Structure 1
């Protein structure tokens, strides 16, 4: 797992200038998921949220069809994504790191809904994260890569 240098997440300009995968992997995963669902490149996907126990770090939002998942890493099996996430946060914090995974029941691009859950809305970043997410998603051949992920990881 990539670790940000101290202070980057609190500095809008430094955060904005992170590489796309780091930007969407450290605080803007909900924007990427929201943009994915606003114009889905593949049918049947929905958002899920990883919520760590006891207010620990490691919150994450991704999209899935129940088998295949997509986040800043790209496509993988949902089970692989969850295992990778839990293993990484257990190493970074402690072996007692646990979480729940739940369907997202709020608008991932609505500032009020996001702020109520301690996440930034699209207009609260230095630049336009929605446009950045669209560009990130446009570079991917979703059908081919999702199928490959399902075959390779199965």
Structure 2
């Protein structure tokens, strides 16, 4: 799967206000916009023997992360599956039409959610963790 910009899957106003409607989107859309951070942490937890980092994407002149992904040895995992990190950043930069930067996330999931106004798993319409585990399992990691 080729890297796609997370912004191409942004939630509508209705999807932002109604968790059930947001939940009913296809997996790629769900994990591109609204649950990317959940997918990133599940990916890291799925491979405890690998030093996988969590990385956020933000405007080069801002602090707010708008997309998160897992990173291992130059390979990024997000809604697009595994792709070279430069490809993921390039496609997002092109889509957003402004300079972006990646930042390593050092907070845990709860800290990330608090800082970046994201939902914890219990705040979704249903538990997103099993859905994220299934999504991760459908993508072959680069070391396999």
TM range (shorter): 0.7 to 0.9
Q: Per the alignment, in what secondary structure is the counterpart of residue 126 of structure 1?
A: coil
Alignment equivalent of 2:76, drawn from 35, 48, 69: 69
- 1:106 Cα shift? 1.0
Return 35-44 or 73-82, whichever deviates more. 35-44
Q: Which residue of 1 aligns with 2:38?
A: 31
Q: Which residue of 1 aligns with 2:3?
A: none
TM-score (norm 1): 0.77
Does 2:56 correspond to 1:49?
A: yes
Check 1:99–1:147 CA distance in 2 against 1; reply closer, same or farther (3 A cut): same
Q: Which residue of 2 aligns with 1:125?
A: 124
Which 5+ residue runs of structure 2 have no aligned equivalent? 1-7
Structure 1 vs Structure 2 CA RMSD: 2.4
Greater relative contact order (Cα 8 A, min sep 6): structure 1 or 2?
Answer: 2
TM-score (norm 2): 0.82
Does 2:138 correspond to 1:139?
A: yes
Q: Per the alignment, in what secondary structure is the counterpart of residue 69 of structure 1?
A: strand
Q: Per the alignment, in what secondary structure is the counterpart of residue 43 of structure 1?
A: coil
The number of residues matched between the two structures is 137
Which 5+ residue runs of structure 1 have no aligned equivalent? 91-96, 149-154
Q: Per the alignment, in what secondary structure is the counterpart of residue 16 of structure 2?
A: coil
Q: Which residue of 2 aligns with 1:106?
A: 107
1:48/1:61 contact within 8 Å kept: yes
1:66/1:78 contact within 8 Å kept: no
**Structure whose alpha-carbon radius of gyration is higher:** 1
- 1:3 Cα shift? 4.5
- 1:2 Cα shift? 3.4
Q: Per the alignment, in what secondary structure is the counterpart of residue 17 of structure 2?
A: coil
- 1:77 Cα shift? 0.7
